[in-house]
Amino acid sequence: MIDLQDGLAVHGVGGQRDRYLPVSTFHAAGQSSLPIDGDVCRLIDGYQGVGIGSLYVADLDGIRYGRWQQSLIETIVHRAPVANDSDRHGTVFLDLGLRAAVAAEGWDWLESLVRSNPRVMVILATECAGDVSLLADVLSRVPRNQVAVSLDYQGGRWLSASTSEEAWFEACRRAAIATVIGLDLASVGGTSVERTLGLCKRVRRQLPQPRYVTGGGVRGASDAQCLLDAGADQLLVASLFAE
């Protein structure tokens, strides 16, 4: 998981984005710590070094201000490993903070990126989307198999000022969305997987069919296994390796 802010890889904790600081080091059992100092490419190298092939990229400038870090995102996409199996290895999940106000040139850039890189998975996050009608707009521009919906929460509270989680559950069913992400921002960078586990069970009751991706508070194999047993298909990790 990579959070981008002002051109740097930052360490997300609890969704308190004003307090995010550049990632300082990457560490893994049995390996020397790798200095990162906010360098996105070095962070990707660290993930690849421990066998993590897929990347989840959150453009915080886009999410907060609507300014996409296009050049940096292109660099990440080109640096990510190429998929070599059927298990989404090599996927780049991309959260730009999509909202209705995207300019035409922004859509043009995104469509070109997706066409050129079939492993890019565009995320429509409920935190920013505003209305379920945006899903149809995204699907008219991005192939269905390259679209994921992120269901966003903060401390168990649904994150959307204008739509309900029930409306998004129904929109995902109606559109036959193949990949759904569940995130509780309060768990990001935390030391407990309990809230993430509860969200996993909650979403799976509503959406048992789509591929389910989640993370937050994963600190080891036992946490990961609990989430997999609860219905998760793929896990997001960051604090386990980077700080």
pLDDT confidence of residue 150: 97
**Three-state secondary-structure class, residue 111:** helix
Residues of the chain with pLDDT under 50: 85-87
Task: Report how far residue 174's alpha carbon sits from residue 193's, in angstroms, rounded to the nearest whole number.
Answer: 30
Count Cβ neighbours within 10 Å for each residue of 142-166 and write b for 16 or more, e otherwise.
Answer: beeebbbbbbbbbeeebbbeebebe
Alpha-carbon torsion (97, 100, 101, 104), positive or negative: positive
φ, ψ of residue 31 to 5 degrees: the values are: -125, 155
Q: Which of 69, 68, 76 is nearest to 98 (CA)?
A: 68
Return the pLDDT at 87. 46
pLDDT of residue 110: 97
How far apart (Å, rounded) are the C-alpha atoms in residues 129 and 148? 13
CA angle 180, 183, 186 (to 5 degrees): 175
| pLDDT at residue number 218 | 85
pLDDT in tens, 113-152: 999 999 999 999 999 998 999 999 999 999 999 999 999 9
Total-model pTM: 0.91
Task: Give dist(CA 102, CA 109) in Å, integer.
Answer: 11
Q: Which residues, 6 or more positions from 163, have their beta carbon under 8 angstroms from its beta carbon?
A: 126, 129, 130, 131, 132
Q: What is the pLDDT of residue 57?
A: 96
- For the chain, domain boundaries: 2-235
CA distance 204 to 228: 12
Q: Which CATH number fits domain 2-235: 3.20.20.70, 3.65.10.10, 3.30.1360.200, 3.40.50.300?
A: 3.20.20.70
Q: How many CB atoms lie within 10 A of CB 37?
A: 12
Residue pair 219/240 in contact (Cβ under 8 Å)? The answer is yes
pLDDT at 96: 97
Give the type of residue at 146.
Answer: Q
Average confidence score pLDDT of the chain = 90
